[in-house]
A and B are shown apart, each in its own frame.
Chain A
Amino acid sequence: EIVMTQSPATLSVSPGERATLSCRASQSVSSNLAWYQQKPGQAPRLLIYGASTRATGIPARFSGSGSGTEFTLTISSLQSEDFAIYYCQQYNKWPPWTFGQGTKVEIK
């Protein structure tokens, strides 16, 4: 099983600032990496797939990068609606598809 490790667990950021979230895979997942945003009481929402491709309707302030075992999600200028939990997921090797434990982005 591929283990996905996200850091930090919690990120405190002021509105308008840049947020950088990390995701590391225990073995190479190529570019088969997705990012999701989850707000309280809601289902996860797909943000990024293929490590760097924004899903339909996702604002340009969200960007993804990386390949192999190291990945980054960057939110260039945090808006109030961006405070949420973010998960990465690998889909290079199953079973199973695996998620990171999440990074909570909170208001500083």
Chain B
Amino acid sequence: QVQLQESGPGLVKPSGTLSLTCGVSGGSIRSSNWWSWVRQPPGKGLEWIGEIFHSGSTNYNPSLKSRVTISVDKSKNQFSLKLSSVTAADTAVYYCAREPGTANNYYFDYWGQGTLVTVSS
């Protein structure tokens, strides 16, 4: 059973950089899956941020592309999110999630429990 666990600071100052890591257990990040970040502002819907393959290939949401970097650390079986120049609008619960990735299956079958990141001075 694959499990994902987000970690990182829960408070980030405006104009700073949000940094989160997602640890993967029960499976290998080197598998055929893509690995995504999804966020949810308080009381609102879900927004896909971007995804990464173990090779390092990435795809980003165009609305966030200029501020987002997703990277992978195969030795630690984890992947990470950096979001720069944050504002209060970036306050959200951030989830990491897995996509099956094969045969055009780019839905999210496993999710982390989510971590709330608040942008405030």
Enumerate chain A interface residues (CB-CB to B < 8 A).
1, 32, 34, 36, 42-46, 49-50, 55, 87, 89, 91, 94-102
On whether A32 and B104 interact (CB within 8 A), knowing A43-B112, A55-B109, A95-B62, the answer reads yes
Taking CB atoms, residues of chain A closer than 8 Å to B113 are 42-43
Dominant secondary structure at the A interface:
loop
On whether A91 and B45 interact (CB within 8 A), knowing A43-B111, A43-B112, A96-B61, the answer reads no
Q: Are A46 and B47 in contact (CB under 8 A)?
A: no
3 A-B pairs with the lowest CB-CB distances in the bound complex, closest first: A34-B107, A91-B106, A43-B111
Q: Are B95 and A43 in contact (CB under 8 A)?
A: yes
Taking CB atoms, residues of chain B closer than 8 Å to A50 are 105
On whether A49 and B45 interact (CB within 8 A), knowing A43-B114, A95-B62, A96-B61, the answer reads no
Closest A-chain residue to B109, C-beta based?
Answer: A46
Chain B 67-121 residues near chain A, CB threshold 8 A: 95, 99, 104-109, 111-114
A45 and B108 CA atoms in complex are apart in Å by 9
Taking CB atoms, residues of chain B closer than 8 Å to A55 are 109
Does B46 reach chain A (CB closer than 8 Å)? Answer: yes
Contact with A along B36-64 (1 / 0, CB 8 A): 10000000011110100000000111110
On whether A49 and B105 interact (CB within 8 A), knowing A43-B113, A87-B46, A99-B45, the answer reads yes
Q: How far is the CB of A98 from chain B (nearest CB, A)?
A: 7
**B: number of interface residues (CB 8 Å):** 23
A103 and B61 CA atoms in complex are apart in Å by 23
A51 and B47 CA atoms in complex are apart in Å by 20
Q: Are A96 and B111 in contact (CB under 8 A)?
A: no
A36, A91, A94, A96: residue with the most chain B Cβ atoms closer than 10 Å: A96
A49 and B60 CA atoms in complex are apart in Å by 22
Complex partner residue of A96 from B62, B108, B114, CB under 8 angstroms:
B62
Q: Are A89 and B62 in contact (CB under 8 A)?
A: no
Q: How far is the CB of B100 from chain A (nearest CB, A)?
A: 8
Q: Are B48 and A98 in contact (CB under 8 A)?
A: yes
Closest B-chain residue to A6, C-beta based?
Answer: B45
18 contacts between A and B (CB under 8 A): A34-B107, A34-B108, A43-B95, A43-B112, A46-B107, A46-B108, A49-B107, A49-B109, A89-B108, A91-B107, A94-B106, A95-B59, A96-B48, A96-B62, A97-B48, A97-B106, A99-B45, A102-B46
